[in-house]
Amino acid sequence: MSESVVAPPNTRFTLTPHLQQAERTVAFIRELYGTQEFVPLHAPVFVGNEKAYLAECIDSTFVSYVGKFVERFEKAVMDYTGAKYAVACSSGTAALHMALHVGGVKPGDLVLMPALTFVATANAVRYCQADPLFIDTDRTTLGFDMAQLTDYLSTSTERRSDGVYDKATGRRISACLPVHLFGHVSRLDELVTLCAEHGVTLIEDSAEAMGSFFKGRHAGTFGQIGVFSFNGNKTITTGGGGMVITDDEAVAKRIRHITTTAKVPHRWEFFHDELGYNYRLTNVNAAIGVGQMEQLDRYITSKRSIAARYAAFFSNGPMRHFAEPADCRSNYWLNAILLADRTERDAFLDYANDNGVMSRPAWTLMNKLPMYSHCPALSVEGAQWLEDRLVNIPSSPIV
């Protein structure tokens, strides 16, 4: 027989070692979620009072920016996080924009933020007409590379009467914006001290960290302002929505004011005393949020037990499950695993997604996106290492 008529090998029996791992992982995820159907990355769960509250909201006719569910939702988040003030916004991005704007970020400033994050973090900086200064990510905590940040602030900046300036560009650094990736919170005590020492305002992008704690304190309460997202894929959702939390009454008041078009309260007159935004959360969305907050602890318990099962499954394989960092009680918003390199990452992603188990890589680093490629950046080696290897796997709560 000539070589040309030999049947092609059956790919099922020629799985490379990394595809064998992918196959085992996909089977495990199907068993975990008890389904042979499509497994989403993170699906919202509505098992509480959400529908009843929505009906109540509609019946009340207060469906827009005014209504008791907005107040109840803000109160629920304040009670849960321990923050003194909360202002519900139309999205996490809008909340971030307001946090930076009211937190003092001015046109031309620089904001210290990780290169490895969702694009909304950088976009909010740009909405203030400022630019990000990209910092590296620690491979073990997923937070800032603290050694790099400390070294940068002590050797490459100078204090002037109105703040701290980057020596290389002569631009003011007005805020430091850590991101608690996938719900993991790390070394916030050190970051608070570092920012205080250098006169930089700390604002936390806690969009992914509702229900996460560091040393017993809720994420978002360490900085001057913290921000949450309630997008449909988050631990709790309002459909779309976000929130700013703070202990500073003046900050909360100003954010409340400018998110409602900066209208000066009056029975009939329309007078707006500065540039404002239409950024408030509607009562409809907040009604869902109140129902979701009542379920938050249940979701976290489930998500943490799913993370424990993943940790056990990956403990003896070549892929590594990402555990919460020291002193953090994570919500495990999205479980993350590390593969050997980008080739294995892509092979895993192809296999899992082809087989109906939704998985995705970390985001492309911000400094590689066209609109941010000119922005100043320190070495982002750790972030690149993570981009090449990290994969998020299904993490919806099972309740």
- The residues that touch ligand PLP, with contacts defined as CB under 6 A, are 91-93, 96, 117-118, 120-121, 179, 205, 207-208, 229, 231, 242
Q: How far is the CB of 329 from ligand PLP (least distance, A)?
A: 19
State in angstroms the smallest separation of the CB of 242 from ligand PLP: 5
DSSP 4: G
- With respect to ligand PLP, which residue has the nearer C-beta, 122 or 378? 122
Minimum CB separation from ligand PLP for residue 198, in Å?
A: 23
Q: How far is the CB of 179 from ligand PLP (least distance, A)?
A: 5
Distance CA 194, CA 196 (A): 5
Q: Which of 11, 31, 43 is closest to 358 using CA atoms?
A: 43
Pick the closer one to ligand PLP by CB: 57 or 100.
100
Nearer residue to ligand PLP within complex by CB, 92 or 289:
92
Q: How far is the CB of 103 from ligand PLP (least distance, A)?
A: 15
Residue among 96 and 391 whose Cβ is closer to ligand PLP: 96
Nearest approach in angstroms of CB 120 to ligand PLP is 4
Looking at beta carbons only, is 141 or 231 nearer to ligand PLP? Answer: 231
Secondary structure (3-state) at 98: helix
Q: How far apart are CA 2 and CA 186, in angstroms?
A: 63
CB of 236 to ligand PLP, least distance (A): 12
Closest to ligand PLP by CB, 48 or 226:
226
Burial (CB count <10 Å: 0-12, 13-18, 19+), residue 270: exposed
Cβ proximity to ligand PLP, 144 vs 165, nearer residue:
144
Residue 11 DSSP label: G
CB 21 within 8 A of CB 317: yes
Q: Nearer Cβ to ligand PLP, position 121 or 221?
A: 121
Q: Which single residue brings its beta carbon nearest to ligand PLP?
A: 92
Q: What type of residue sits at position 119?
A: V
Residues 6+ apart with CB under 8 A from 373: 367
Q: Please give the sequence-ordered ranges of beta strands (E in DSSP) within the chain, or none if there are none.
A: 85-89, 110-114, 131-135, 157-160, 163-166, 172-176, 201-205, 213-214, 217-218, 225-229, 242-246, 320-321, 328-329, 335-338, 360-361, 390-393
What is 253-304 written as a DSSP string?
HHHHHHTBTTBPP-SS---B-S---B-BPPHHHHHHHHHHHHHHHHHHHHHH
* Shortest distance, position 228 Cβ to ligand PLP, whole Å: 8
Q: Which of 90, 178, 187 is nearest to 132 (CA)?
A: 178
Instruction: Please state the length of the chain.
Output: 399
* Dihedral sign of CA atoms 51, 56, 58, 59 in order: positive
